[in-house]
Structure 1
Amino acid sequence: MYLSVRSRFNMVLIYIISIVSPLAFSDALIIGLDADMSAVAKLGGQAIERGALLAIDEINANGGVLGKQLKLVVKDHRGNPARGVDNILDFAKIPNLVGILGGVHTPVVLSELKAIHDNKIVFISAWAAGTSIIDNGYDPNFVFRVSVRDEHAGLVLIQHAQKKGANKIALLLERTGWGRSNEVSIKNAAQKFGIQISDIQWFNWQENSMQDQILHIKNSGAQAIILVANAPEGAVIVNDLIKLNMQDTTPIISHWGLASGSFVDAAGLDAINQIDLTVLQTFSFLEKNNELLQSVFLAYQKAYEPDIAKIDIPAQVGVAQGYDAVQLLAQAINQAGTTNSIEIKKALESGLHYSGLIKQYAPAFSESTHEALELPDYLLSQFNQNGRLVPIENIQ
C-alpha cells in the first residue's frame, strides 16, 4: 500500500518513541496503541492508528485534555502474546499514560490481562472481539471495548446462515483463543435458532492447505461454512474451496478477521468473485452520510491519501473504532479531572454520552457493561467486483 508522508513520519516516530525515555512525554498525555503493525493483521493496526490520530488531532485543535495535548505512542506486538505483555509493561513506565488501545488479536489481549490489571491501566479494545476479554474475572475491571463481542457475533453469523436457508452448518476456526471464543458463541447461537452444526474443523496460523478440513466439511453435509480466520488463512480457504469445486454450493459467512489484512491481494479478485462470501463489520463510510462522517473522511484524505474514495479506505472498522475510542477516553479524562486511572475508569462507567462515527453512545459504558457496541450496531458486507467491502444489511 502507498504510504503518505504522514504515514512514513509516523513509522519513524514509532521507532523513536520505542527508544527514548518516558520522561520525554512529560508535557503531554499519552495514549498507547498496542497492536500488530507489521505482520498479518497490520492493516487493522494501521487503521486503528489512523482513526486514533484523527481524533487526537481534533481534540488537540480544541485545546487538548486537561489543558494538555494528547500524543499517541505505538508499539508493535506483531501478533505475538509475549511481545504484547512486554509492551504493556513498557507502557506502564510512562508517567503520563492515560490509557491503551488494543489491536486485532484476541490471543494477545488475553495474555495481557494480568499486566493490565496489575498496573491498573485503562485498556480499550478497538478490534479484538473475544468474549472473555471483557468477561475476564477481574474486579475492578479496567478493560473496555469499542468493537465486536464474539457472543453477539455468533448470533449475527447464525442468523445470516438461517436467512440463506442453511439449516446445517460447519465451523472452520483458527486454533487460538479467538477461535475457541467463537466456538462457544456460535454453538450457543445455533442451539437458540435450531441450526445443526454438522462439523467443526480447526486450523493453525500459516497453514498452506485446508483441503482436508474442507473435504471433511463437505462429507458432513454442511450447507454453509461459518469462518473465523484472519486474512492469510482466509485466502487459502477460499482458493481451496474453488479447487474442490465447492464455490457454488457452500457459502462462507465470515467473522471480520478477513478485513484486518491483505485478504484481497492474497486470495485474488478472481477467486473472491467466485465465492458467496459475507463478512461481519460494524462500520462503513458508505453506510451513512452525516456531518461527522464527512468531516472525518476529509481529515483522512488530508492526512493520508488525498485522492482516496470512501469505499477504498482499508479496514474501515478500525478507523471508526479507534476514532470513537479516543473520543470517549478523552471525554472520560475531562470528566474525571485527573489522569488517575481509577478515576478515569469510573468516569467511563458513569454514563458518557457521545455522538460518534459508529453510533450515538447513550451511554457508552456502565459499571456492569464495558461493551460500547450492541447487536443493532453490527452489519454484514460483501466484496464487490473490485474487492471492496460494501454493506448489505443492518442486523436488527
Structure 2
Amino acid sequence: MTRFLLIFLLTLTGAGSLAVAQEKAPLVLALDADLSAVAVEGGTAIRRGMEIAIAEVNNNGGVLGHQLSLVTTDHRGNPARGVYNVEQLAKRQDLLAIFGGVHTPVAVAELDAVHKNNLLFLSPWAAGTSLVDNHYTPNNVFRVSIRDEQAGEVLIKTARERGVKEIALVLERTGWGRSNLTSLSKAAEHQGLKIVSTQWINWRQTDFTNEMSAIIQSGAGAIILVSNAPEAAVVSKALLKLEAAEMPLIAHWGLAGGDFVAEVGLTDLSKLDLSVIQTFSFLYQNNSRSAYLLKAYRQRYDDIAPQAIPAVVGLAHSYDLVHILTAAVKKAGSVEADAVRQALENLPVLQGAVKQYAPAFTENMHDALMAEDYFMAMFNEDGHLIPVSDIR
C-alpha cells in the first residue's frame, strides 16, 4: 500500500513539474513616459489604462498562452533619457511592445532606436504628425491619439465658428510646436482665417506678458494654444494680468496632461474663455467597453465622478491600444515584431472604449483617430473637462 501511494505521489509531482515546464513566460508591455515631471497626470492615466487592459487580458487566459506584465520607465520629458530607456528595453527578450507617453519630442527622438531594434511602438498620446509619418520602412509606430495634421483643422474650425477671422498662435518651442505651426497654417489658409501673430514659449518660461501684449496689439480675435500644462498656465496668467480674459483661448490638449487647473486656480480658470480639444469622455462615449473601463477604474483606483478622472484620454487610448495589440498577436499567431506589425495593419472590426475601429490601422495609415473623432471640451466649475455639447 505504501509503495503504491509513493508511486501515485511521484506521478502527481512529475505531472506538476511538466505543467510548470510547459507554462510560457510572461510577455512585457513597456511604458516609457513622463511619470515625474510636467506631464505626470498623462503618464499616470496611460499606465492605468494599460493596467486595466492587461488585467482583463490575463483574466481571460492571456495571449497565445502568455500572461502580460507591465514595466515602466520614466523619461521625465527628456529625449536623451527616452532614447536610453528604449535601448535598455530592447535588451529584454520578453518585450512585446513599447507604449509612449505625452511628449512628441521624446517619442520622435526614440524612433531611430525603435526601428534599429525592430521594436513595436504604440502611441496613446503624443500627437506630432511626424511621429507616425516618419521615413522608416517598415514603420513600427501605431497611434490611437490625436494627429496634429487633423487637429489643426478642428482648432481652426472652432475659431471660425466663434466668428473669428484673425487669430494668434502660441506654440511651445519644440518639435511638437513646429508640427502644429505647419498644420495650423495650412488649416487657416484652407478655412480662410488669417494668422496675425505667432508667439513661442519655452519650457519652464515663467512670464509671457510681453508676448501677450504683442498678441493683443495684433488685433487677434482668438488664441490657439499648443503647450503643456505649466506653460499653458503661464499664458493664461498673462491673459488675466492684461485684462484680456474674454479673448477665446482654443487649446490643444497638452495642458490636460498635467496639473493645469491647480496651477491656474479655479477662480481664475472660471474667468477664461478656454476650450480644449479631446477625443474621449465618459460623458461622450457610450458603449460597452467604455462602461467596463469606467467600472474597472473606479474599483481599482478611485470611485469618482466620470468627468473627474484626470487625463482621461490617455486612460482610454492606452486601454484600447492594449486590446488592439493583443488582437494582432492572436491574429498573427506569433509574438515576432514583423508578424504582429502585419497583423496590426490587417485587423477586423474591433469595439474599443473610444470608438469602433473599422479597422484601427491599414498598411498606409497607422493613425486610428481622425478629425471626426475629436471634439471640444470646457472646464466646469470644479475644474473638470466637459464636452461642449454637454454644456450648451
| TM-score using structure 2 length | 0.92
Indicate the SS of the match to 2:282: coil
* Percent of residue pairs identical: 51
Residue by residue over 1:281-320, the C-alpha shift from the partner in whole angstroms, topping out at 9 and shown as x without a partner, is: 0000111333222221111111111x31111110000000
**C-alpha displacement of 1:393:** 4.0
Structure 1 stretches (4+) deviating beyond 3 angstroms? none
Aligned to 2:362: 366
Whichever residue aligns with residue 109 of structure 2, its letter is S
Aligned to 1:274: 271
Distance 2:87 2:349 in 1: 31
Aligned to 1:227: 225
Distance 1:169 1:213 in 2: 14
Alignment of 1:273-312 (within 5 A): 273-305=270-302, 307-312=303-308
How many residues align? The count is 368
2:251·2:275 contact (CA, 8 Å) conserved in 1? Answer: yes
Residue by residue over 1:314-373, the C-alpha shift from the partner in whole angstroms, topping out at 9 and shown as x without a partner, is: 000000001001000111111111111011100001133210000000000000000011
Unaligned runs of 5+ in 2: 1-23
Distance 2:135 2:286 in 1: 39
| TM-score using structure 1 length | 0.91
Distance 1:86 1:288 in 2: 37
- Superposed CA RMSD: 1.2
Aligned to 1:14: none
Residue by residue over 1:75-100, the C-alpha shift from the partner in whole angstroms, topping out at 9 and shown as x without a partner, is: 10000000000111111011011111
Distance 1:234 1:158 in 2: 18
Relative distance call for 1:351 and 1:295 in structure 2 (3 A) is closer
Of 174, 181, 190, the match for 1:192? 190
Aligned to 2:97: 99
Query: Are 1:343 and 2:343 matched, yes or no?
Result: no
2:54·2:69 contact (CA, 8 Å) conserved in 1? Answer: yes
Query: Are 1:252 and 2:249 matched, yes or no?
Result: yes
Query: Are 1:320 and 2:313 matched, yes or no?
Result: no
Distance 1:157 1:374 in 2: 13
**C-alpha displacement of 1:271:** 1.0
Aligned to 2:3: none
Distance 2:95 2:335 in 1: 8
1:30·1:98 contact (CA, 8 Å) conserved in 2? Answer: yes
Distance 2:149 2:290 in 1: 28
Alignment of 1:1-396 (within 5 A): 27-248=25-246, 250-305=247-302, 307-393=303-389
Aligned to 2:4: none
2:288·2:353 contact (CA, 8 Å) conserved in 1? Answer: no
2:33·2:76 contact (CA, 8 Å) conserved in 1? Answer: yes
Indicate the SS of the match to 1:274: coil
Distance 1:184 1:37 in 2: 29
Distance 2:287 2:131 in 1: 32
Indicate the SS of the match to 2:270: helix
Indicate the SS of the match to 1:280: strand
Residue by residue over 1:182-227, the C-alpha shift from the partner in whole angstroms, topping out at 9 and shown as x without a partner, is: 0000000000001000010001001110011101111111000000
